[in-house]
Structure 1
C-alpha cells in the first residue's frame, strides 16, 4: 500500500505540490494525469524518496525513506539512468546484489526474453537506445518482485512489443497484490487496468475518481473536463 498524507513540496517560494493526500491499496493501479508542470513528477520523486518534503509518505507502513520501504518499492523513471560501463546483464546482477536476491537468474532470464533483450545482454549501457534503456529499467524494477511500483511515463520510447509486455506485466503486478502509480500523458494506454485516477493541476489533485464512479464516460473526457473546462473539484 502507498499512503501519501498532506504532502507539500516547495522550491523556494514556488509550491510544486500542495497538501496532497492519496492512498493506493494493494492490487490497485492509480493513474496520475495532468498537463506539463502540474506537479506529477515532483510527487513521484517525493514518493520514491528522492526529494525532501513536508508531510508523510509510507510504503506498506514503512516510511518511504527507510531501507524497509526501498526494498519493496520499484521505480521506473521517465529518463532511464543506466550505468554507461555496465552491460545489460550486469545491471540486473547489480540490482540482485544490492537487494540480496536469491535465485534471481531465472526471473532475470525471463524478463530479458520478454523484453527482447536476451541477445543484448553484453551491450553496455551507453550503447543502448532510449527504448532499450527503458526496457532495462523495467526489468530491474520487476526483478525485486516489488510490493509497490512507481512508473513515470513508462511507455515513452518503447516499441509495440515492449508496450504489450509492459501492459501484461502491470496486469500481473495487480494480480499479485502490487500497489502501483503510473504517471502518463498517454491516456489510452492505461484505460484497461486503472482503478483510480488523480488529475493534477497547479500542484494539487483537482479531481480523484474511481473507475466505477465514471459511469458511461471515459477517462479522456474527464481529463479534458478538469484541465480545460470548469469541472475542477478539489479531492
Structure 2
C-alpha cells in the first residue's frame, strides 16, 4: 500500500509538485503519466527518500522516512548508477545483504537468467552498457522482495526481451500482493499493466481512472480525454 497526502516540493521558487494526493492499495499497479517536467520523477524521488518534501508519504501504513518503511520498498531510478569495482553479481548480493533479504540464491539465478545477465554476472560496473545497468538495477530492486516497488521510466534503454520480462515480473509481484508505481510518459509501455492511472500536468495530478471502472477504453484514449489534447487521429476528446 502506498499513500501520499498533500505532497509538495519546490526547487527554489519553482513549485515542482503541488499538494499531490494518491493512493494505491496492495496488489495493484499504479501508473503516473504525464509529459516530461510534469513532476513525476520528483514524486518518485520524494517517496524514495532522495528529496526533502512537505506532506506525508506512507508505505504499508508506515511513514516513508522511517527505517521500517524503507525495508519494505525498492526503487528503480531512471538513470541507473553502478559501483565501478563491483561485478553484476556483487551488486545484487550487496543489496540482498543490506536489506537482510530472505531471497535465496535460486531466486537470484532466476532473475539473472530472465534478464539475460547470467553469462555477464562477472562483468564490472564500469563495463556495463546503459541497458545492462538498467537490468542490474531492476534485479537489485527485486532481490529485496519488496512490498512496494517504484520504477521511474523503467523501460527506457531496455531491449524488447527485457521489456517483456519486466512486465511479466511486475504482474507477478502484483499477483503476490505487492504495490507497484510506474512513472512514465510512454503510454504504450504500460497499457497491459495498469490498475490505476494518475495523470500529471504542471506539478498537479489532474485526475485518475481505475481500470475496472472504464470498460474497454484503452489507456491513451483515457489520457487524451483527461488532458483535452489531440488523440492519435488529431481530434480532441
2:118 is the alignment partner of 1:131: no
1:117 equivalent in structure 2 = 117
Q: Give TM-score scaled by structure 1 length.
A: 0.94
Give the TM-score normalised by structure 2: 0.93
63-72 vs 194-203, which deviates more?
Answer: 63-72
Aligned to 1:199: 199
For 2:216 and 2:88, the matched residues in 1 are separated by: 45
SS class of match (1:138): helix
| Large movers: runs of 4+ above 2 Å | 101-104, 212-217, 224-230
The CA distance in 1 between the partners of 2:217 and 2:114, in whole Å, is: 34
Correspondence list, 1:163-174, <5 A? 163-174=163-174
Asked if the contact 2:96–2:103 (Cα under 8 Å) also holds between the matched residues in 1, the reply is no
> Is the contact made by 1:92 and 1:139 (CA closer than 8 Å) also made in structure 2?
yes
Q: Report the secondary structure of 2:26's partner residue.
A: coil
> How many angstroms does 1:160 deviate by?
1.3
Match of 2:86 in 1: 86
Residues 96 and 104, structure 1, Cα contact 8 Å, conserved in 2: no
SS of the residue 1:20 aligns to: strand
Deviation at 1:217, TM superposition (A): 2.5
2 CA distance for matches of 1:75 and 1:195? Answer: 19
For the Cα contact (< 8 Å) 2:103–2:145, is it kept in 1?
A: no
2-structure distance, mates of 1:190, 1:5: 25
Q: Provide the aligned length of Structure 1 versus Structure 2.
A: 230
Tell me if the contact between 1:34 and 1:200 (Cα under 8 Å) persists in the aligned partners.
Answer: yes
| Pair 1:156-2:150 in alignment | no
Residues in 1 aligned to 2:43 and 2:103: alpha-carbon distance in whole angstroms: 34
Q: Unpaired runs of 5+ in structure 1? A: 231-235
CA RMSD after TM alignment: 1.4
- Which deviates more from structure 2 when the two are superposed, residues 220-229 or residues 135-144? 220-229
Q: Distance in 2 between matches of 1:166 and 1:102?
A: 21
C-alpha deviation, 1:213, in angstroms: 3.0
- Describe the SS at the equivalent of 1:151: strand
How far off its partner does 1:45 sit? 0.4
Q: Is 2:79 the counterpart of 1:65?
A: no
Tell me the alpha carbon deviations over residues 100-151 of structure 1, each in whole angstroms, 9 at most, x when there is no partner.
2346322111100110101001101110111000000010000111000001
Structure 2: segments with no counterpart, 5+ residues: 231-237
Structure 2 residue aligned with 1:42: 42
The CA deviation at 1:88 is 0.2
Q: Is the 8 A contact 1:9 1:52 kept in 2?
A: yes
